[in-house]
Amino acid sequence: MGLKRTWRGSEGPRDPLLLRVGVKSLKALPSQIPETLGDTIGKYYSLQIQKAEPWQQFIQKARIWGDRWIREVRPKVTLVVRMAASVANYDYIVDWEFQTDGLIRIKVGLSGILMVKGTAYDNINQIPNQENLYGTLLSENVIGVIHDHYVTFHLDMEIDGSDNSFVQVNIKKEQTSAGESPRKSYLKAVRNVAKTEKDAQIKLKLYDPSEFHVINPSKKTRVGNPVGYKVVPSGTAASLLDLEDPPQKRGAFTNNQIWVTPYNRSEQWAGGLFVYQSQGEDTLATWSDRDRSIENKDIVVWYTLGFHHIPCQEDFPIMPTVSSSFDLKPVNFFESNPILRTRPNVDNDLPVCKPAASG
């Protein structure tokens, strides 16, 4: 566990001076702003540039804003809970990052020793068909074989209480009727509350997108939205193996990226208890196929983060860390942006790490 202090993208250093200025065009970047203002800005100040304002208003506006300098920022301070697991030749670094805006980012980093096999080849010009290597020649007589990694998370969600529902919010394209509008299409969100487990066996789709909300249907915000958190996928991978392939039967928890099951103490490990002896009879897929009721129940959301890995020479002999993540993000959980009422941090609020006394 540790505290990390970083700056959010464009927010710049602590206590910046934010100047609202006008520029004639996007070509007029800070380097072209008059020297006098450039002096005022100084190297530690951030610029908030608003384009296409008349140049005459520019100095005046800067002066008006000059009487009301905005000097506050809130540095991004996150609590990171880290776990590192050595699994065979690999090291997996799992970070749970808790942000002050309520977002929880779960990040997985892969490192360690690459899985390789021997070969008689010591140069690719000796290989008649490189595809038949099923990997990459990484060094003389060493092939890094193509493989996948899957990390499945058991998320025992409790959104403001134990009884929750899973809602797939599907984004749909609607067409305008002929002559109705110059526009041809627009977007609509269709909410589908999952009644049973099979309603929540989710394969991610880029061109049929959805949000995945876990809500408490009996707790509402001031304006009536059910409180919730959503699962936000990021870069991930799906298994391409045949469903009847023995490794896939054992690893059937990768058949979908999201599953939802009713809480059951005996259903804790997505691959079952005895993975290496398994014929696939005790996995998340077999539990989910019972199709139990999951609406307004104590539910568990399962999310699988995947990586396809075609090794390259930089991965050998020890891999630089490859990372991906997904988020649990508040969705109508707070009445408004929770950051706005937080005090600006000052240096003294933060723990100061000092080196241990020597000797």
String of contacts with Cu ion for each residue 296-335, x by CB under 5 A = -------------x--------------------------
Smallest gap from Cβ 321 to Cu ion, in A, equals 11
Smallest gap from Cβ 258 to Cu ion, in A, equals 23
Task: Please say which residue, 112 or 338, places its beta carbon nearer to Cu ion.
Answer: 112
Smallest gap from Cβ 312 to Cu ion, in A, equals 11
Smallest gap from Cβ 51 to Cu ion, in A, equals 45
* Residue number of the CB atom closest to Cu ion: 309
Task: Please say which residue, 144 or 228, places its beta carbon nearer to Cu ion.
Answer: 144
Question: What residues numbered 147-176 form the site for Cu ion, per CB under 5 A?
Answer: none
Task: Please say which residue, 92 or 98, places its beta carbon nearer to Cu ion.
Answer: 92
Let me know how long the chain is.
359
B/e letters for 116-133, b = 16+ CB within 10 Å, e = fewer, are beebebeeeeeeeeeeeb
Q: Count residues binding Cu ion (CB under 5 A).
A: 1
Check residue 249 for interaction with Cu ion (CB under 5 A). Answer: no
CB-based contacts of 73: which residues, under 8 Å, 6+ apart?
A: 11, 12, 14, 15, 16, 344
Task: Please say which residue, 309 or 329, places its beta carbon nearer to Cu ion.
Answer: 309
Smallest gap from Cβ 47 to Cu ion, in A, equals 43
What the block records as the tokens of 348 is: 């003294």
CB-based contacts of 88: which residues, under 8 Å, 6+ apart?
A: none
Instruction: Cis check for the bond before 317: say yes or no (omega within 30 of 0).
Output: yes
Task: Please say which residue, 139 or 181, places its beta carbon nearer to Cu ion.
Answer: 139
Task: Please say which residue, 230 or 309, places its beta carbon nearer to Cu ion.
Answer: 309
CB 119 within 8 A of CB 141: yes
Cα end-to-end span (Å), the chain = 27
Detail the DSSP E strand segments found in 1-57.
2-6, 19-23, 47-51
Calculate ∠ Cα 75-80-83, nearest 5°.
Answer: 160
Smallest gap from Cβ 307 to Cu ion, in A, equals 7
Question: What residues numbered 73-132 form the site for Cu ion, per CB under 5 A?
Answer: none
Q: For residue 125, what are the β-bridge partners?
A: none
Applying CB under 5 A, the residues found at the interface with Cu ion are 309
